[in-house]
Chains A and B, each alone.
Chain A
Amino acid sequence: MSSSSVGGNAVERRIRRRSVHRSRSTAVSVALVVLVLVAAWIGTESVLRAVGAAPLLADPQTVVDTALRPDAAFVTIAEVIAVVLVVLGVVLVVLALKRGRQHRSPVPHDRGAVVIDTRIIAATAANAAGSAAGVPEGNTSASSRGNRTDVRVVPVSGVPVDEAAVRAAVTERLSRLDERFGRRVKVTLAERGTLS
């Protein structure tokens, strides 16, 4: 969706996608290291068994035999290990399937790939709302997520704030970044004002 609305060549599209989405390399590395360790252990034990030397940790054959004819103590251990493995598996599946978007959005620009953080959008919205409502900088706050932006304004006592005008100003300012940011703007006015 976002990559179709902003153009650019393949490299720029690739940079944009890599900036907006979180890398999965950490999870992949950890999983691979664990896999390598287990494989190395099984290999080592097999070689030791073939040579006839004493096992390093435990003989794989003994482990399998114990697992197939479980006693009471081993059942609890096996259950704990199973639960840990299930949790790890669920975490890995979630990491693999999640969209992994960062709090950033690509914006169209004639040169290069431009990606902006949602905090920038929120700060821009708060600034626009502050100057439109005529309140000090600290009286407005905003949060932005995806294409929707929520602005909260605490008015100054005795100075009426026009909610529609504030929304229009925020929409106008955000549309200058990219027209899709100004589509969903919500302005909330506080009931009580502050003195200054």
Chain B
Amino acid sequence: MAQTSQYCTFYLDKLLFGIELRGVQEVLRFVEMTPVPLAAGEVSGLINLRGQIVTAIDLRRRLELEERPKEMLPENVVVRRRPLWMRARRHWEKSQNRSIR
């Protein structure tokens, strides 16, 4: 079955991974992060994405891979976006109790 999709691929500890492009909003080079104390280990911090606050997840930790060597900066950040139906649902939920009348 010929069915092609585009993927955003990246390496994590020498392993190649891919995310379907549809689920990717943008790719950021190194950005500054604000750590969140008490958060789960895989939360690496908060990013200021043009005025929006985005939670960053350390994929190495999430997948229980080896920790990133200290001298290595987490260079690439992939901003994931939620699937459309989830956003639509959120939108609908909001419209249920938040529409200005």
Do A and B share a complex? no
Q: Which residues of B contact A (CB under 8 A)?
A: none
